[in-house]
Amino acid sequence: MSQTPIVQIQNLKKKIGNKTIIHGLTFDIYKGEVFGFLGPNGAGKTTTIRMMVGLMGITEGKVLIKGNDISKNFKEAISHIGAIVENPEMYKFLSGYKNLIHYSRMVKGVTKERIKEVVKLVGLEDAIHNKVKTYSLGMRQRLGIAQALLHSPSVLILDEPTNGLDPAGIREIRHYLRKLAQEEGLAVIVSSHLLAEMELMCDRIGILQNGQLIGVQNITEFVSGEEQKTVRFHVEPVEKAQRIFAAKLNDGVITTGEDYIDVLMEKEAIPDIVIDLVEEGIKIYGISEMTKTLEEKFLEVTGGKQVG
């Protein structure tokens, strides 16, 4: 990606009291992508988002939105952002529509037509004049997205947007966000502690743990980004085959199972090893490349700490 980033996070730190919660995050986010912010509960996702939208002071480092420093040039920077921080809390005693009117009065240029458009986009036409206290969590989440999109921002930040939604709701949100990024060119930032969800929704993810960014990678690279692959050979007898692998591959990591051997090796070496195995009279029932799931990879990167 050679374009200039819409959001630039530079060495972002947060200290509360004498406890450092965020230890220097640096990453960029581009137009048209869905960026996932992944990490277990307490990793610091919400704290980072709070700093990005100016709700919390920045101890050190910078957040730039279209080049505007959120701490120094708040009004300009924030006018490009739409966000939900944690739960989409709205005024329950007002109707959904009044809530949107409320937020529309705080920015310039949001017309009644725009409100109507956004309501339609999130599919709340039927319930928009009901009080928010009658809404389901999914409806509140959608109203939350509506208020975030009202002023046509370039950056959409959603903190755990799928929290408490049923699978259908999750699918719907995922569909939305992809559409917003692809068709409208928004930069979408979502946080989650659920891996499977991120895998389906995001183009890139940054993994956050204990306030540190462990890595930022493309989803595809992340899952299969290595030269060496784990290859599974279903063979018989396993013991004899293992000796052949040990002799032929000097540094391949080998693990054996009941009726298979997993070998970490380069793809190009497979034909040669097959010839060796056949010559030694080993029966081969199958050879398959093992792609790691994001989950396995995640556990590997975070040192096996369980998420969720």
Partner 1 sequence: MANFIGLIRNENMKIYRRIGSIIMLLLLVGGIILMGVIEKTTTEKANDANWKQAVTKEIKEDKKTLNEKLPDDIKKHVKRNIAINEYRLEHNIKPIQSDSLWGFVDNTSDLVSVISIFTIIIAGGILASEFSWGTIKLLLIRPVSRTMVLFSKYIATLLYAVFMLVVLFAVSWILGGILFGFEGVSAPYLAYTDGKVVEQNMVLHIMSTYGLNCISLIMMVTFAFMMSTVFRNSSLAIGISIFLTMGSSIAIQILHKYDWVKYVLFANTDLTQYTTGTPLVEGMTLGFSLTVLAVYFIIFVALSLVVFNKRDVAA
Among 5, 36, 39, 88, binds ligand ADP (CB under 6 A): 39
71 three-state secondary structure: coil
Among 47, 104, 141, 192, binds ligand ADP (CB under 6 A): 47
Rounded to a whole number of angstroms, the minimum distance from the CB of residue 39 to Mg ion is 9
* Strand segments (E) across 85-203: 155-159, 187-192
What does the block give as tokens for 11? 């060495």
**205-215 burial, b for 16+ CB within 10 Å, e for fewer?**
bbbbbbbebbe
Cβ distance 87 to 44 under 8 Å?
A: no
Rounded to a whole number of angstroms, the minimum distance from the CB of residue 81 to Mg ion is 18
Among 10, 71, 79, 154, binds partner 1 (CB under 8 A): 79
47 near Mg ion (CB under 5 A): no
Distances (CA, A) of 79 to 26, 125, 279: 22, 26, 70
Residues between 1 and 30 that touch partner 1 (CB under 8 A): 16
Distances (CA, A) of 246 to 15, 48, 74, 202, 261: 51, 48, 62, 40, 11
Among 78, 127, 165, 173, binds partner 1 (CB under 8 A): 78
54 near partner 1 (CB under 8 A): yes
Nearer residue to partner 1 within complex by CB, 53 or 235: 53
- Whole-angstrom Cα distance, residue 201 to residue 205? 10
Among 9, 21, 46, 223, binds Mg ion (CB under 5 A): 46
Rounded to a whole number of angstroms, the minimum distance from the CB of residue 21 to ligand ADP is 4
Cβ distance 178 to 35 under 8 Å?
A: no
98 near partner 1 (CB under 8 A): yes
55 near partner 1 (CB under 8 A): yes
187 near partner 1 (CB under 8 A): no
Rounded to a whole number of angstroms, the minimum distance from the CB of residue 92 to partner 1 is 8
Rounded to a whole number of angstroms, the minimum distance from the CB of residue 287 to partner 1 is 54
200: exposed, middle or buried (C-beta count within 10 Å: 0-12, 13-18, 19+)?
Answer: middle
Cβ distance 225 to 191 under 8 Å?
A: no
Binder of residue 39, out of ligand ADP, partner 1, Mg ion, none (CB less than 5 to 8 A by kind) = ligand ADP
Omega before 237 within 30 of 0, i.e. cis: yes
Binder of residue 75, out of partner 1, Mg ion, ligand ADP, none (CB less than 5 to 8 A by kind) = partner 1
Cα R_g (the chain), whole angstroms? 25
36 near ligand ADP (CB under 6 A): no
Residues that bind partner 1 (CB under 8 A): 16, 50, 53-57, 74-76, 78-79, 81, 83-87, 89-94, 98, 101-103, 105-108, 147
